[in-house]
Amino acid sequence: MAILMKTYVKIALRSRIDTKPQEVGRALLNVLSLGDGLLYPQQVSHNPDRFKDDFEGADALDVWWSEVAQMRVEGAVSDFSLDFAWRRKDAVKSTGYVCHTMRNNRGAVLPGTVSLTAQWSPKIEWIEVFRALIGVFPPRLAMLHLFTSPEIGRPSPWSSFEAGSFGAALNPDITNIAWAMYYGDEFADEGDRQKMRERGFSVDEQSNGYLVTVTKRLEDVKSDFDSFSRRRAELKTLYRPGRFRIEEEPMLERDVT
């Protein structure tokens, strides 16, 4: 599933909504059609690491979206929905997957996951793609980030941030602040939004949470990482101590060496 690029965009979210209805899949395809279809799937699979089947369009969701399989847990057989994974080989190269919401054997809801990893392109309005995905999958947590050399290939917990991981399904955590973050459900009370606005951060209130961005444009991460890094460090001070697994900044590390 990995796409080897010097710069790439990562979108990841966790949502408790029921992802299995086909209208959710069709809504996802509508999102991936934004920007002249430069993110639209060309291949599909139930395994995000292996692709061989061409995607024949929305009608193919009858086959590929939330296909049911069975698994045995502690002696009991239960149904679950297979992942929906997609890949685009032409520009803009990308891979993504939806891991469907389900219940464990104790009846607890395990949130669904949506992940998109894509080649960086200025032709796509990434924040609009992000907002559209939030509309389809109201998140518990979500991130949009442009990864560049200062943040690529670093050891854990940076590798978790790079992967777009929010930790365990029932006990999520936040590794780091991405360029855009969405805090929903029980995370909606995190951070001092009033001070964020006073310090010039864009805060957008939503039905179950809020979206905050570090700078005005996603490409600021690429064009001026040091300024982005300083603003991110400032934004972290508006959250409670220990909220993020990563507290240091690559830019600040260079300043003290």
Are the C-beta atoms of 245 and 160 separated by less than 8 Å?
yes
Handedness of CA 3, 212, 16, 62 (dihedral sign): negative
pLDDT of residue 1: 43
Q: Cβ of 136: how many Cβ atoms within 10 Å?
A: 19
Mean pLDDT of 220-231: 96
pLDDT value at 53 more than 60: yes
Find, among 117, 134, 122, 120, the residue nearest to 31 by Cα.
134
Q: pLDDT band at residue 216, thresholds of 50, 70 and 90? A: very high
Residue written as token pair 């973050």: 181
In this prediction, residue 76 carries a pLDDT of 60
Taking the C-alpha atoms of residue 119 and residue 53, their distance in angstroms, rounded to an integer, is 22
Q: What is the pLDDT of residues 88-120, one digit of tens each?
A: 999 999 999 999 998 887 788 999 999 999 999
Per-residue pLDDT averaged across 31-36, rounded?
95
Strand partners, 53: 44
Token pair of 168 as six digits:
């365990």
The pTM for the full model equals 0.92
Average pLDDT estimate for 114-132: 97
And the tokens for 71?
């698994």
- 256 pLDDT exceeds 60? no
With pLDDT > 90 as the criterion, what percentage of the chain qualifies?
A: 82
Average pLDDT for residues 142-169, to the nearest whole number?
A: 94
pLDDT at 74: 62
Q: Where are the alpha helices (DSSP H) in the chain?
A: 22-32, 61-64, 126-136, 158-163, 193-198, 220-223, 225-236, 250-256
Average pLDDT of the residues of the chain: 91
Alpha-carbon distance of 86 to 47, in angstroms, equals 9
State which H helix or E strand residue 251 sits in: helix 250-256
Query: What does the DSSP 8-state code read for residue 232?
Result: H
Amino acid 43 reads: Q
Contact 143, 33 (CB under 8 A): no
Q: What is the dihedral of CA 110, 159, 143, 241, to 10 degrees?
A: 90
Helices (H) and strands (E) in the chain, counts: 8, 14
**pLDDT at 78 (0 to 100):** 65
Q: Are 110 and 169 in contact (CB under 8 A)?
A: yes
Residue of higher predicted confidence among 196 and 78? 196
